[in-house]
Amino acid sequence: MMQLKRIGTAIVVVGGLYLLLPLAVFNFTSVARPYDEEYLGTREVAIGPKPYWWVPKAAWKLDVPGGFSYDASGWPFVVWKPLCLAFLKAKGYAPPAAWRK
Residue 41 is assigned to a structural domain of this protein? yes
Residue 21 is assigned to a structural domain of this protein? no
Domain, as residue range, for 74: 26-99
Give the total number of structural domains in the chain. Answer: 1
Mean pLDDT of the chain: 89
Q: State yes or no: pLDDT of 101 exceeds 90.
A: no
Backbone φ, ψ for residue 10 (5° rounding)? -65, -40
The per-residue pLDDT for range 10-28, each reduced to its tens digit, is 999 999 999 999 999 999 9
The per-residue pLDDT for range 68-83, each reduced to its tens digit, is 778 888 999 999 999 9
Residue 13 is assigned to a structural domain of this protein? no
Q: Which residues contact 96 (CB under 8 A, 6 or more apart)?
A: 34, 37, 45, 46, 47, 72
**What pLDDT sits at residue 65?**
57
Which tops the pLDDT comparison, 36 or 61?
Answer: 36
